[in-house]
Structure 1
C-alpha cells in the first residue's frame, strides 16, 4: 500500500520503520519540514516529504500527532479522496495537550476527531505503549502475541486498519464502531496492558467510562513522579505493570 504518515514521534517513527520493512511505500512528514526528520525514521525505506505531499496519492493516511492538533491539519485532508483510509493513533491527555471541552463533557475521543476532520476514521495503535510497540512485535501465530484493538464505523476501513496492525507485528482485534472506541482510551483495561487476542474481549467489555479519566490522570502522576516530566514515555516493563495495576 501507499501510506502517508503525519507525525514522527514515539508511535509515528515506529510505524514508519515497521510499515516500510513490511514492504509498503511510506512517506512521512512532520510540522517542521522533511529536513528535520531523523534518518533512523527512514531506515527501512520511508521518504521524508512536506506534510501536504504526505497525504497525496496514498491509500492510507496515518495521523500520529497530538489529539489537539487534529483541527489544525484538517485542511490538509480537504482534497484527499473519500476512499483514502484515515487512521488516527492519538490519545487525549489534557495535562499535556490542553483541555478539549467536548471530550471533558464525555464525547468519545475518536468521534470528536472524526468531526474535526469531517470524514470517517479508523482508531488504531493508540492502545499500546510506544516501547512495547517498538520492541514486542512478533510474527503471526506466535504464542502470546499482543493484540491491538482497531475501531471504525466502516467495516472495510476497519479491515484495512487490522491488516496494517498485523504488518507491524501484532494481532489486529476488531473493536467495533467508533462509538465503542472509548473502551480503548487511556484509563481502560485494554489500554497499554499488552493483552493477547484471547484476553482482549474481556478487557474491552469490563471498561467503565466514568472511571477512565481518573485512572488516566493517576497514571500520568505516577509517570511524572518516576521520570520527572510528562513527555518521556516509560519503558515497557514499568509502563505495562503500572497500566495493569491502575486500569484492570
Structure 2
C-alpha cells in the first residue's frame, strides 16, 4: 500500500481520501491554513486519515493528489512534491477561479500548466472528470465505472493502480496533453461510464466541434 497525500479537504478531496483509507492506504489530508480546521472534517468524513499541513502531507507521501481550486495552485508545496507523482484532479471553473483568458482558450491544458510550474514533479491527470457524487456512490459498482488517466506511461500506470484500488477501472488515454479531453466542456466531463463507453466518448472528442478547435490549437 502507498502513502497518499490529499491536498484539499473539499468534496472531491474528502471522498478520494476516504476511498484511499478504505483501500488500505496510509492517507494524509490537508486544507488551507491550520490543520486543526481540517481535523473535524477528517474525523467525520475521512476516519482513519491524518489531518496535517500541505507541506507535511506532501513530504510524507509517495503520491500527492491536488484537489484544490485551480487558482490556488501556488499553495502547492513545490519542494515537498519534488520527485513525486502529483495527480491533478483540478478543473478550471471561471465561477470560482475567476475569468482567465489563458484557460478559456480551446486546447488550454491546465495539467500542462501545472507541470510547467512544478517541473520537478511528474503530473498525471485523473479524478477530474467524474462528479463527486458519482465518485462517492460508484466506487466498486458492478459493472465497474472507469476513471480516465493521462500522463507519462510509468507514472500513469502507478496512478492506474490507485484508481483500481479506489474501486474504478483505469482508462489510459495518452500523455499529459491528452488531459484536455477530460476537462470541462468536453464530452467526457461528467462521464460516469464503463471503460468501453468512456473510451468511445474520449476517442470521439476530436470529431466534436470543440474537439476540432482543441486539436487545431494543439497542432494535431
Q: Normalising to structure 2: TM-score of the pair?
A: 0.86
**2:12 counterpart residue number:** 11
Mapped pair 1:108 → 2:109: yes
Q: Distance in 2 between matches of 1:100 and 1:78?
A: 26
Please list the CA deviations of residues 54-87 of structure 1 after superposition, one character each: whole Å capped at 9, or x if unmatched. Answer: 11132111110011111232xx1224341x2111
Structure 1 runs (4+) greater than 4 angstroms displaced: none
The answer on whether the counterparts of 1:42 and 1:48 sit within 8 Å (CA) in structure 2 is no
- Give me the whole-angstrom Cα distance separating, in 1, the residues matched to 2:51 and 2:147: 27
- Give the total of aligned pairs: 204
Residue 61 (1) aligns with residue 59 (2): no
Asked if the contact 1:70–1:117 (Cα under 8 Å) also holds between the matched residues in 2, the reply is no
Unaligned runs of 5+ in 2: 212-220
For the Cα contact (< 8 Å) 2:85–2:123, is it kept in 1?
yes
Cα drift, residue 33 of structure 1: 1.9
- Secondary structure, aligned partner of 1:14: helix
What CA distance in whole angstroms lies between the structure 1 residues aligned with 2:79 and 2:205? 35
1:149 corresponding residue in structure 2? 148
Query: Residues 204-243 of structure 1: matches in 2 within 5 Å?
Result: 204-208=202-206, 211=210
- Give the distance between the partners of 1:210 and 1:9, measured in 2 at CA: 33
TM-score by length of 1: 0.77
SS class of match (1:78): helix
The secondary structure found in structure 2 opposite 1:128 is coil
Among candidates 23, 36, 40, match of residue 44 of structure 2: 40
